[in-house]
Amino acid sequence: MANIISGKELAEEIKAELKLKIDELKRKGKTPGLATILVGKSPASIIYVRNKGLACESLGIYSEQYNLDENITQEDLVSLIHKLNQEDKIDGILVQLPLPKHLDEMNILASISPDKDVDGFHFYSVGRFFCEKDYNNMKKNKLFLPATPYGIMEMLIRKNIKLEGANAVVLGRSNIVGKPIAMLLLSANATVTICHSKTQDLANICKNGDILIAAIGKPKFVKQDMVKEGVVVIDVGINRVDDKIVGDVDFDEVSKKASLITPVPGGVGPMTITMLMVNTVVSAERHLNEG
């Protein structure tokens, strides 16, 4: 039976470190602030945004939540973002994805000021971390790394998983998880293979992975016979099946072969929210020091 990586416990550890920084900022007269923008009424997005607000509250970060009608125009949404770009009490702006089809996601994300892009989805943030070769430098330079991949990296590193030279297989190629986690693992000297819906012989590629990141949104897709003995498995999936939340990995099967595995819930999810808080605090520190 595998050991379980508790994202919940690691997130608590990181939040305790973060609380000290927030208290220090407040002593200097700066309260970090996050604005979240939700368009429409997707039940999953409502929960994610609410959890982000609750995390802010528990840490003493100021937060504002904008709940917008699903028919909002591009112009109105961009003009709200431009207003938030100018507000001193806001250090981070997050537009919850996905957006309704009539909105141009790329351009909306690009309207966020890069110095408030705590989600790391602006072209500037993506290009900035793409160009940095070394993960340690990314951290030293306090780049805004996208929260889910950032959380995964912190889990692997805090659990002392050897990344250098490891074969890492990433299932999924989204801008939110698959592509950025592949780039981050590469920056930590792993050999990375990205698989997607058109990949041939996917099971055999997975079997070669010392580390397997599953981010494809298919419930219990990864089975025991697709993984190597001793693999480290990070399950990013959040799928609702019969009123239960399950990951992209068949936990009961795969945990028999894995050396380490994240549960769903309680694995990647809490880390994602925590790394968003980390980025918001970094942004507040920068705003305080650089004006």
Active site positions, annotated: 52, 96, 119
Rounded Cα distance between 121 and 109, Å, is 7
Binding segment for ligand GUN (CB under 6 A), chosen from 81-89, 92-100, 129-137, 210-218, is 92-100
Subset of residues 96 to 135 that bind ligand GUN, contact rule: CB under 6 A: 96-97, 119
Nearer to ligand GUN, 50 or 133 (CB): 50
Is there binding between residue 283 and ligand GUN (CB under 6 A)? no
Task: Give me the count of residues in the chain.
Answer: 291
Binding segment for ligand GUN (CB under 6 A), chosen from 93-101, 162-170, 181-189, 245-253, is 93-101
Question: For 66-85, b where at least 16 C-beta lie within 10 A, e where not — what string?
Answer: bebeeebeeeebbebbeebb
Q: How far is the CB of 147 from ligand GUN (least distance, A)?
A: 5
Nearer to ligand GUN, 97 or 143 (CB): 97
How is residue 66 annotated by DSSP?
Answer: E
Asked whether 9 and 268 are in contact (CB, 8 A), the reply is no
Q: How far is the CB of 272 from ligand GUN (least distance, A)?
A: 6
214 - beta bridge partners? 171, 235
Q: How far is the CB of 289 from ligand GUN (least distance, A)?
A: 26
Rounded Cα distance between 27 and 20, Å, is 11
Amino acid at site 148: T
Rounded Cα distance between 71 and 87, Å, is 25
Nearer to ligand GUN, 161 or 176 (CB): 176
Among 112, 147, 188, 216, binds ligand GUN (CB under 6 A): 147
